[in-house]
């Protein structure tokens, strides 16, 4: 039996979250429901009112399209490699910047620059720098005598995905540095002093103290980055359009939806992207909870 006070607190709690729920239904729930619905129809974008239900045939069509599987493969490769590099690099830079080195403030500010730039801008800048004839990168390579002629970075299909990963690492490592640095700064300093007095060498301090205590922070950072990378669209699209060598799942969905005007099939692809990301998110969050039971409290 709840007391009146409890009931009142419960009611005011509901009142406070009501606006948020209303907004969520409006901006997330409704479009999601529409997409789910259209994925079961044969609608076309130019006349979406005119359609019939076709069951799961759109999903079957997407699943039978080798281009879709290529996009899935690209996305997974991109996500795995870029997030892995960003995590290791981010951790290393955060540990470095965490030290009391001279000019630390300046370094911290400078590190943020790539992240603060719009994706389209940095992608375009890198595209120019990597241009096979006029790019500064090729100029340097040829000038320094590493090669006789420039490399066709963005035109060469096998290099394209690597270039996408490289630009993403350049852009989002600062985000990793920032999150891990924040995690480092809240670790109690005395624990590390205790280890220092106890004669624990630096690599053992890093491996047995810093990393386990930092695990929840790194976990959250990786979660953010993985979810972001799985739905990546802008970078690859600005750099290569619908080029199949760098096509991500999001670009595939957009391609079907806008270029081909196939609202039904595009919605089915979008739904599959959504399900895949949701699955990965649930998996990582679950793994984090398990980690967290041991590591946070002092």
Helix locations, the chain, DSSP H: 4-24, 30-38, 57-63, 66-98, 104-116, 119-129, 136-143, 157-185, 189-197, 202-205, 211-230, 234-240, 249-254, 263-295
Nearer to another protein, 148 or 297 (CB): 297
Q: 218: closest CA among 169, 183, 189, 172?
A: 183
By beta-carbon proximity to another protein, the closer residue of 6 and 193 is 193
| Angstrom distance (rounded) from CA 143 to CA 44 | 53
| CB nearer another protein, residue 195 or residue 276 | 195
Candidates 8-16, 84-92, 145-153, 205-213: pick the segment binding another protein (CB under 8 A).
205-213
* Residue 176: CB atoms within 10 Å: 27
Whichever of 3 and 99 has its CB closer to another protein, that residue is 99
- Give least dist CB 186 to another protein, A: 12
Other C-beta atoms closer than 10 Å to the C-beta of 94 total 25
User: Which of 116, 201, 207, 241 touches another protein (CB under 8 A)?
Assistant: 201
Candidates 54-62, 204-212, 248-256, 263-271: pick the segment binding another protein (CB under 8 A): 204-212
Only one of the segments 13-21, 84-92, 139-147, 203-211 lies at the binding site for another protein (rule: CB under 8 A); that segment is 203-211
121 binds another protein (CB under 8 A): no
* DSSP designation for 46: G
Burial 103-130 (b: 16+ CB within 10 A, else e): eeeeebeebeebbeeebeebbeebbebb
Taking CB under 8 A as the binding criterion, the range among 21-29, 67-75, 94-102, 206-214 that sits at the site for another protein is 206-214
Binding mask 167-196 for another protein (x = CB under 8 A): ---------------------x-xx-xxxx
Size of the site for another protein (CB under 8 A): 22
Among 213, 226, 239, 247, binds another protein (CB under 8 A): 213
Q: Which residues pair with 41 in a beta bridge?
A: 53
Considering the rule CB under 8 A, would residue 46 count as an interface residue with another protein?
no
- Contact by Cβ (8 Å): 164, 239: yes
Quick one: which of 1, 5, 15, 197 contacts another protein (CB under 8 A)?
A: 197
Tell me: does residue 199 bind another protein (CB under 8 A).
Answer: yes
- Does residue 206 touch another protein according to CB under 8 A? no
Near another protein by CB under 8 A: residue from 7, 212, 258, 283: 212
Q: 286: burial class by Cβ within 10 Å (0-12, 13-18, 19+)?
A: exposed
Who contacts 112 (Cβ-Cβ below 8 Å, separation ≥6)?
Answer: 174, 178
Residues making contact with another protein (CB under 8 A): 188, 190-191, 193-201, 204, 208-209, 212-213, 294-298
């Amino acid at each position: 039996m709840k007391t009146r006070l409890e009931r009142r607190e419960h009611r005011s709690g509901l009142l406070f979250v009501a606006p948020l729920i209303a907004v969520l239904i409006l901006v997330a729930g409704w479009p999601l429901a529409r997409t789910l619905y259209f994925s079961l129809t044969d609608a076309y974008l130019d006349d979406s009112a005119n359609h019939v239900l076709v069951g799961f045939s759109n999903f079957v069509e997407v699943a039978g399209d080798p281009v879709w599987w290529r996009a899935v493969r690209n996305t997974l490769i991109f996500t795995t490699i870029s997030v892995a590099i960003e995590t290791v690099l981010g951790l290393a830079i955060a540990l470095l910047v965490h030290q009391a080195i001279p000019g630390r403030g300046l370094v911290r500010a400078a590190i943020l620059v790539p992240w603060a730039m719009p994706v389209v801008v940095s992608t375009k800048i890198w595209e120019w720098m990597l241009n096979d004839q006029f790019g500064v990168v090729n100029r340097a390579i040829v000038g320094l005598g590493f090669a006789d002629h420039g490399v066709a970075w963005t035109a060469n299909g096998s290099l394209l995905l690597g270039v996408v990963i490289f630009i993403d690492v350049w852009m989002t490592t600062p985000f990793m540095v920032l999150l891990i640095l924040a995690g480092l700064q809240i670790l109690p300093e005395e624990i590390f002093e205790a280890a220092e007095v106890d004669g624990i060498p630096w690599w053992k301090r890093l491996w047995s103290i810093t990393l386990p205590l930092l695990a929840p922070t790194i976990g959250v950072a990786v979660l953010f980055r993985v979810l972001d990378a799985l739905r990546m669209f802008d970078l690859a699209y600005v750099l290569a359009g619908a080029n199949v060598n760098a096509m991500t799942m999001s670009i595939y969905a957009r391609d079907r939806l806008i270029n081909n005007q196939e609202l039904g099939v595009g919605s089915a692809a979008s739904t599959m992207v959504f399900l895949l990301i949701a699955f990965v998110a649930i998996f990582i969050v679950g793994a984090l909870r398990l980690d967290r039971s041991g590591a946070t409290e002092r």
